[in-house]
Amino acid sequence: MREGAGNQVGHAEAMLLLQELLDTQSRALLEGDTVAMRATVNMPYRRQTADADVIVESTADMERGVLAFSESLRALGVNHLIRLATDAEFLNDSLIEGHYVTHTLHNATQMVPSFLNRVVMQSFDGDWRMIELASELESRGWPINLLHVAGSGSVRNSKDAYDPRRDVSHPLPVYQRFLDRLTDATVAQDFAICPIPAMAMHWTR
């Protein structure tokens, strides 16, 4: 992984890659361009809001989301969708975690309060695509067809130090350690040390 002076280079590279993806997506969302949006997303992907956590599994699901979001922007009169990266870092060689702020404007007038987002991108043969997105919005489910900003704090703007993918270039050793712990706990019938509850808490919080 990137150490020392390489951290600065890695941070700058991660920020550039994130902003490029955000700019492409912003144009696609504003125009309702499902084809351009599809090229930036790997499915299935996880979509979180303050009160919803869904897995978008198919192209049809993604297209419904893009069109609903685009329609909500048009209904508000938004003609400038600006999403600016505030932080980004490599979790490992193929994953980037980033944060950004979304601004929705009609000319220079803000249409809804700006809101925070957390995104995870993964490299597929050098092509970076979104695999997770959490936004400081309220939504009853999918698609998100009304931009209603949630109270502050629903998206953490700090680095997720507990993300098990951090600094792991190859997931197989991590998975093997999990299997070893699970086997030991099962043989000993000691469910207090079973790793499943802790992992479940991480992925559902």
Give residue-wise pLDDT tens across range 81-132.
999 999 999 999 999 999 999 999 999 999 999 999 999 999 999 999 999 9
Bridge partners for 123 per DSSP: 128
Q: For residue 20, what are its two tokens?
A: 């490029």
pLDDT score, position 184: 78
Residue-range domain boundaries for the chain: 5-135, 171-204
**pLDDT score, position 157:** 46
Model pTM score = 0.74
Topology of domain 5-135 in CATH is: Nuclear Transport Factor 2; Chain: A, (3.10.450)
Burial class (CB in 10 A: 0-12, 13-18, 19+), 55: exposed
Question: What pLDDT was estimated at residue 202?
Answer: 39
Give 1-5's long-range contacts (Cβ < 8 A, gap of 24+): 1/90, 1/92, 1/93, 1/167, 1/169, 2/90
**Token digits of residue 90:** 């490599």
Positions in the chain short of pLDDT 70:
1-6, 152-176, 191-205
Residue with tokens 């941070």: 11
At 151, is the secondary structure helix, strand, or coil? coil
CA-CA distance, 70 to 55, in Å (whole number)?
A: 20
Alpha carbons 78 and 67: distance in angstroms, whole number = 14
Whole-number pLDDT of residue 198? 41
